[in-house]
Structures are given as structure tokens and as C-alpha cells.
Chains A and B, each alone.
Chain A
Amino acid sequence: MLLVLGAITLNFLLIHLAPGDPALMLAGEAGGASEETLKAIRADFGLDEPLVQQLLVYVGKLGRGDFGFSYFYNASVLSLIGERVPQTMLLASASLVFAWTVGLTFGVLVARRPTSLGGNVLSVVSLFGYAMPVFWSAIMLLLLFAVKLPWFPTHGMTTVGLSGGLGARALDVAHHLVLPMLSLGFIFIAIYSRLTRAGMVEVLASDYIRTARSKGLGEWRVVVVHALRNALLPVITVAGIQLGQVVAGAILVETVFSWPGMGRLAFDSILRRDYPLLMGILFFSSLAVIVFNFLTDICYGWLDPRIRYR
């Protein structure tokens, strides 16, 4: 709750720290706001009142779900963001599921048979995932698998003018999704596999694993059901903290592939100096990260019943 208030205050401060008239800022430069619109905005946000009063007005507005108005699109910020959320959710969740699957499998394999080869491959993959700018690796994938080898589409989410049933359309979206998903997921593979390996090495050495083995349980049951569950805790913590990075990655990847999501919207709103929209996106993403962190906290209790919340 405190974090949400923090996000609101930050947005508010940014509007007022910006050079020039805050009303002009709220109208968005590209809107070509008339004196009348500006007057309306001043009255609406109480810009003639003292600063504290203004903050209260602003909090109240956000509380009622009024995130402002984009004069460029001539639509409310909330509806514009709402239109884009599903596409970004699709991209982000596909990438995370991909990164989780590969990262966990890799981490478990390396932890079970700690050969130097596995460890070295892991080190190299982590370094690449860390040091390559995500927009550049996305462009490189695009260059190789869409331009040089025309296996995947270069941009967008659907083929224009495609006819066919639901199945054909879903397949079309999936086809468009492959490259963006790989680019965004790649950064997170390394971190997940490292954390899984570290957790698994520790857990596999503990007493209850020996007990499970001595009961005669199958090796995979021991590893997946008994050990992995506990090794997952640090992975989930980091997944929560890193959601901010997923947002950043999504903005860049969506820009490269013209994926019609929030990131693309953010890029466009910068080009058009559409500040209300940009602030709305910042606030909304912060909110998403805060909520996601709250959910990971709940996941803890579920994975490890020793953790209880009062």
C-alpha cells in the first residue's frame, strides 16, 4: 500500500519537476492544446491550489481509476493501456515460462551431475545473457531467422487478412510469438538456472533427501517432488524482484518486433511527447510489479509451510 502511494507521489513529483507549465505537460505537447483545454485541466487538477492540495486531488483521481486523457489518441489513458495489456501479458508470460522451463531443467541437470562442462556452459550462457543488450539480440534473431532465413514473420502479432478458424489464428499468433519470446526469455534463462543449481546443490545434501532416498523412492520423484520444491524459493524471490526488468525488456523487444503491446505504446508515446500516457504506463507497470511481488510472497507460504504470515 505504501509502495502504491510512493508510485503516485513519484508520478506527481515528475509532473511538477518538469520544466514548463504542468498543465501543458498534462495536456501533452503534441496535443496542440488550446487555451481552453489548458484552463479546463488547471481547474480539473486544482493547479491553482497549494501543492499538498494538488497531490490529494491527484491521488483521488487515480483512486477513481482516472489516469488522465491522451489528447493524441483522443481516448482515456486507462482504455488505451487496457487494450495493450493482454498482448504484453502474452509476450511476458510466454517468455517467462520459456525461461523457467529451460532454466530449471538446466539448473537441475547441472546440480545433479556437476561436471565442469555443464558448469562452464552455464557460466558462458549467463555472461551472454547479461552482457548482450536485449534489443540487439532481438535484432540479430530477426536478421537470422526472419530476414536471411524467412522462417518467422518480421513484425506484428497477426498476419493481415488471414482467414480461417480459431485454431489457424492461434497458430498464426504463436508463429509471430516465437522470436520475441526467445529474445526476451533468453536474458532470464541464465539467472534461473544459476539459482536453481545453487538451491539444488544445497537441498540435495540435506537429511530429508537421504530419508526419501532410503525409503526407496525413485530418483526423479526425489529430485522433482522433494528437492525442487524447496530449491524454488530463491528462484521465486528473484522472479518477483526482476519483473521490473521484464517490463524494460518488453519495451525494447516490442519495439523491435512491432509487437502491439504496452512497450510499443510507451515507445510511441515518447515519440509523440504524449506525457499523460507515458505517466500512466509508468504508474501501471509499477503497480503490476508491486502486485506481482505480493503474489510471490503468498507463493512462499504455499511452497514452504514453515513461513506463516500474521
Chain B
Amino acid sequence: MSRLGANLAACLGLGLMAGIVLLAVVGPFVHRTDPWSREGNRFEPPGGRFVLGTDHQGRDVLAGLVVGAKSSLLVGVAATAMILLIGLTVGIAAGYRGGWLDETLMRITEFFQILPAFLFAMVVVAIFSPWIWTIVLAIGASNWAGTARIIRAQFLSLRERDYVLAARALGVGDLRIIVREILPNALPPVIVNASLTVGVAILFEAGLSFLGLADPNVMSWGYMIGASRTFLRDAWWPVTFPGLAIFASVLALSLVGDWLNDVLNPRSKE
């Protein structure tokens, strides 16, 4: 893409991102409506008393959107943190140690890469109760393989570099080499990947809660779509707006990921 196009895309991504974070953080203080309570009649169209209308139980769609932003971001970030934790542990152990450990860990990683991730997450949430942290656990457990592979590849190529060999010759311990010497250099692709992972986690959370596998105490965008879709003939707005919110968040994270990639790895080309 052209330079200008890339800049525009980056601005759009960062702008959308800022908007969603603002919605999640400041929104609840500005729009203080309970997303669960009956506020008006059923199916009041948008633009009237309610900016985005009401759903089949007279609940305010905008209030759901505001509270849902918080839970989507929370799940997205928490699941990514978990993915990074597993990915770093497995990736570093495999890439730095090598040998049979690498062989074994990569077999397991390969298996998790092939496993139908969404179905696996569904089963995990269904078996344990649908609670917001079980959802985080399920998303983390089903999506760490790609991250682990990236980290392993980085460690595999960096551990033979001269500066690492020099540090080792000086008698620096393994832990110090991993944390101080290799990790800072291994991070750029991991950071880019993490921003995409947050997007994937948000999509997973939306899909799970759409199927009714959401924490019953937490309002979320996917739940709103799932609950309102049977009333599509009566009202399009309770389904359309939360979907747009998911779309905007994932789009923003993907554009930010591209931008980070440009900034952190200037040499990489598509």
C-alpha cells in the first residue's frame, strides 16, 4: 500500500482504538443507565428517546454497548496476557533449550494449532461454568500456539548471535541472558502479534457469548446480538449496533497491528 494509505489506515486504527477505550472507561460515567433494566417500551427505534433504541425487553441498547465495551476489552486483554504467558514459557523453553524439550513442546504446540480452537473453547466454557475468567481461560488455552511458535523462532535464531555468545563466555547465567539479552530483541514481532491476538480474543468472546456461553452477570456485545436475533423482524438495531462495535474494535486492533509492524520492523515487507 502507498505511504499515504498506510498513514491513513494507522490514523483510522488509532482513532477507533481511542474511541473504544474512551467508551469503556469514560462511558459508564457519562451514560449512567443500567443495561439490564427496563427503561422504555419494547423496540423503541433509535434517534428517539434512546439514541440507539431499545431491545425486546425495553433495555437501552447504548447502555449495553457502553458496558459491553468494558467486558470485551477486559476479556481481550486478559486472554492475551494469558496467551503471552503460555507462549513465552513454551517458546523460550523450546527455543532456548532446544533438543528433546523443543521436539516435545513443538509436537504439543502443533496439536493445539490443528485443534478446532473455537470448538475447544466452547467445550471448556460449557464444562466449567460460564464465568468471565473461565472464558478468559478457554480463549487463552485455545489460542496460544501461534504465539509460542513466533517466540520459539525468535529465540532459536537469536541464541546463537555473537552478543549472546559473548555474554555466555563472560559467565552470565541463563536467566539473565534470556531476560536481559535475548528478550528485548525478540519482542517486536511478539508485540505486533499481541495486538492481533487481542482482536482474535474479542471475536472469540463475542462468538461464545453469542452462543449463550457468557457470564450471566456481565453484559457483552455478543450476548446482545444473540438475545436479539430472534426479533430481527421487529427491530434491526439491537443486533446491528453491537456488531458494528465488535467490527470496529477488531478492525482498529488489526490496523494498529499493521502500524506497529511498520514502526517496529521497518525492513519487513508484505
Write the residues of chain A forming the contact surface with B, with a CB cutoff of 8 angstroms: 2-3, 6-7, 10, 14, 17-19, 25, 116, 119-120, 123, 127, 130-136, 139-140, 142-143, 147, 198, 241, 243-245, 247-248, 251-252, 255-256, 266-267, 270-271, 273, 275, 278-279, 281-282, 285-286, 289-290, 293
Whether B127 contacts A18 by the Cβ 8 Å rule is yes
Q: Which residue on chain B has the smallest CB distance to residue A273?
A: B126
Please provide the chain B residues from 106 to 124 with a CB less than 8 Å away from any CB of chain A in the complex: 107-108, 110-111, 113-120, 122-124
A-B contact pairs, 28 of them (CB 8 A): A6-B111, A19-B128, A127-B254, A130-B250, A131-B251, A133-B222, A135-B206, A135-B210, A135-B225, A136-B225, A136-B239, A140-B240, A140-B243, A143-B236, A244-B119, A245-B117, A247-B116, A248-B119, A251-B211, A252-B210, A255-B210, A255-B211, A267-B211, A278-B123, A282-B120, A285-B119, A286-B115, A293-B114
Asked whether B1 is an interface residue with its Cβ less than 8 Å from the other chain, the reply is yes
**Alpha-carbon gap, A266 to B123, bound state (A):** 9
| B binding-site residues for A, Cβ under 8 Å | 1-2, 5, 107-108, 110-111, 113-120, 122-124, 126-128, 199, 203, 206-207, 210-213, 222, 225, 229, 232-233, 236, 239-240, 243, 246-247, 250-251, 254-255, 270
**Within the complex, which residue of B113, B115, B246 is in contact with A136, where a contact is CB–CB below 8 Å?**
B246
Distance (Å) between the CB of B133 and the closest chain A CB?
14
- Asked whether A251 lies within 8 Å of B210 as measured between CB atoms, the reply is no
Contact among A131, A134, A245 for B254, CB-based, below 8 A:
A131
- Report the Cα distance A14→B212, complex, angstroms: 20
Determine the residue in chain A with the shortest Cβ distance to B202.
A133
- The list of the 10 closest CB pairs from A to B, nearest first, reads A248-B118, A136-B243, A131-B250, A244-B116, A131-B251, A247-B116, A6-B111, A18-B127, A285-B116, A270-B126
Check B127 against A14 for contact (C-beta < 8 Å). yes
- Bound complex: CA of A142 vs CA of B222, how far in Å? 17
How long is the Cα–Cα vector from A251 to B255 in the complex, in angstroms?
28
Considering the chains assembled together, what is the distance between the CA atoms of A123 and B115 in angstroms?
A: 28
For residue B254, which residues in chain A have a CB less than 8 angstroms away from its CB?
127, 130-131
How far is A289 from B116 in the complex, measured between Cα atoms in Å? 8
Q: Which of A134, A135, A244, A266 contacts B117 (CB 8 A)?
A: A244
Collect the chain B residues with CB atoms within 8 Å of residue A244's CB: 114-119
Given A139-B225, A143-B240, 17 more A-B residue pairs with CB atoms under 8 Å apart are A6-B111, A131-B254, A132-B250, A136-B239, A136-B247, A140-B240, A147-B232, A241-B114, A244-B118, A248-B118, A251-B118, A275-B126, A278-B123, A282-B120, A286-B114, A289-B114, A290-B114
- A131-B250, A133-B206 known; A142+B123 contact, CB < 8 A: no
Nearest B residue to A247, CB-CB: B116
SS class, residues of chain B in contact with chain A = helix
Closest CB-CB distance, A23 to chain B, in whole Å?
15
State the Cβ distance, A135 to closest chain B Cβ, in Å: 5
Complex: A270 Cα to B211 Cα, angstroms: 9
Residue contact A133 to B115, C-beta cutoff 8 Å: no
Task: Give chain B residues whose Cβ lies under 8 Å from the Cβ of A270.
Answer: 122, 126, 211-213
B239, A286: Cβ atoms closer than 8 Å: no
Most chain A beta-carbon neighbours within 10 Å: one of B114, B120, B210, B212: B114
**In the assembly, what is the distance between CA of A289 and CA of B239, in Å?**
32
Contacts of A14 in B (CB 8 A): 123-124, 127
Q: Contact at A123–B1, with CB atoms within 8 Å?
A: yes
Which chain A residues lie closer than 8 Å to B222 at the CB level? 133
Q: Interface majority SS on A: helix, strand, loop or mixed? A: helix
Least CB separation from B111: chain A residue:
A6
The answer to whether A133 and B243 touch (CB under 8 A), given A2-B107, A267-B211, is: yes
In the bound complex, CA of A139 to CA of B227 (Å): 12
Q: Measured between C-beta atoms, what is the minimum distance from A264 to chain B in Å?
A: 11
B207 with A3: CB separation less than 8 A: no
- Asked if A132 contacts B247 (CB within 8 A), the reply is yes
- Check if B115 sits within 8 Å of A248, measured CB to CB: no
Docked pose: A6 CA to B254 CA in angstroms: 33
Q: Which residue of B lies closest to A240 (CB)?
A: B114
Residue of A nearest to B211 (CB): A267
Q: Are A275 and B116 in contact (CB under 8 A)?
A: no
Please measure, in the bound complex, the distance between the C-alpha atom of A180 and the C-alpha atom of B1, giving whole angstroms: 32
Given contacts A127-B251, A139-B225, A255-B211, contact A279 B123 (CB under 8 A): yes
Shortest distance in angstroms between B259's beta carbon and chain A's nearest beta carbon?
Answer: 13
- Given A136-B247, A139-B232, A252 and B207 contact (CB-CB distance below 8 Å): yes
B219 vs chain A, min Cβ distance (A): 17
- Residues of A with C-beta under 8 A to B236: 143
A248–B115 Cα gap in the complex (Å)? Answer: 11
In the bound complex, residues from chain B placing their C-beta under 8 Å from that of A116 are 2
Q: Are B115 and A289 in contact (CB under 8 A)?
A: yes
Which chain B residues border A282 with CB–CB below 8 Å?
116, 119-120, 123
> What's the least CB distance linking A7 to chain B, in Å?
7
Least distance between B235 CB and chain A CB atoms (Å): 10
Q: Chain A residues near B206: list those with CB within 8 A.
A: 133, 135-136
Q: Are A251 and B119 in contact (CB under 8 A)?
A: yes
> A135: which of B113, B123, B207, B232 is its contact (CB, 8 Å)?
B207
Residues of B within 8 A of A25 (CB): 127
Assembly CA distance A10 to B142 (angstroms)? 12
Nearest-neighbor residue (CB-CB) of A4 within chain B: B111
In angstroms, how far is the closest chain A Cβ from the Cβ of B79? 16
